[in-house]
Amino acid sequence: MSEKTQPRNVRSETYSQYLEELGDASTLYADARREIYKYAEDGRDIWTEMAEQVALEPGRVLDIAAGNGIMARKLLEQGFGFKPGEEIVTSDIDAAHFFVAQETLPQDFPDANLVFAEADAQDLQSFEDESFDTIISGFYLYHSEDPEQSIWAAFNKLKPGGRFFAATRDLENQERIWRWGAFAADRLDATRPQSFYDHCDRQRTSELLTKVFGQPPEYEVVQRTAANIPGTHEGFRAVREAGLSLRRLMRPYENPAQVVDSGQLVKVFDTYLYTAFWQEVNGIPGVTGKGIFKVPINQSFFEVRKPL
């Protein structure tokens, strides 16, 4: 095998460059991933479970890198954010991310104490120090260029005794999709997509929280499983869409300024990977659409308090 075709990850030399190369890949992957969650066997709503824990104590809550504002909605559905002294601040580096929430939440919950603010989760300079009772980082840290800096920023904005909640995904999260992305990239002589999750997984998150807060966090590992619907191809369709969303992270070695051709990538998924997919179903070769496949969805949730 020539040096050019040796398997390797993204061409970027720093994670900062990689973030620039992500483009819309993260959003596209998240949308496709939600389709897979429809087939989760346990039926758990992780965002609601987090909101239930946050809502146990009153106060001012900051949701950093909040994206579409799902956490604010879940908190409001729990009845949090209406009493005096309760406030939900939804923040993101780009206000366009929470535009829909900013329009709909005040309409759906007119009596709620809601604030929307542009803020960089790596410094949070928009807010005063020690001004929040709870700060939430839901599935953000592995997208941060400097996760430790983001945690320190949250620490500084928490009141003494305040709580920090963080959620991340493990390296094993939907491992099959990333493995198939690498397989497709090799077939197309392109760089392999680097998993979002290898930047700040469960172990790294725990280490950083312990370092910043001076104590190990409490955490729960949620091991979920998504499965195909017997007799259908819906599960494969969902996995296929998630895999195809990684196209922006595959760069042809001959022309690294471009992403791989979408038609070529579809061909790889619908031929080589389609066959491999059903051969992997329950480990039985030759299964043709009636079996059940498993996709691991491992998530970790942390809670730690700032010392008094």
Look up the CATH number of the domain holding residue 214.
3.40.50.150
Cβ-count burial of 40 within 10 angstroms (0-12 exposed, 13-18 middle, 19+ buried)?
middle
Query: Average pLDDT for residues 130-138, to the nearest whole number?
Result: 96
Write down the residue that tokens 């038609």 correspond to.
Answer: 263
Quote the domain boundaries for residue 42. Answer: 3-305
For residue 21, give the H/E element and its range.
helix 15-22
Residue, of 108 and 30, whose pLDDT is higher: 108
Query: If you ran DSSP here, which 8-state letter would residue 199 be given?
Result: S
Count up the domains in the chain and report the number.
Answer: 1
Pairwise CA distance, residues 298 & 282, whole Å: 19
- Confidence tier at 19 by pLDDT (50, 70, 90): low
Residue 16's pLDDT is 55
Region for 40 from its dihedrals, namely left if φ exceeds 0, alpha if ψ lies in -120 to 50, beta otherwise: beta
Find all residues with CB under 8 Å of 206, minimum gap 6, and list them: 216, 217, 219, 302
How far from 308 is each of 47, 67, 150, CA to CA, in Å? 28, 31, 21
Q: What is the pTM of this model?
A: 0.81
Pairwise CA distance, residues 232 & 239, whole Å: 13
Q: Which amino acid does the sequence have at 215? A: Q
Per residue in 67-121, pLDDT tens? Answer: 889 999 999 999 999 999 999 999 998 888 888 889 999 999 999 999 999 999 9
DSSP-assigned states of every residue in 148-167:
HHHHHHHHHHEEEEEEEEEE
Pairing of strands 132-138, 158-169: parallel
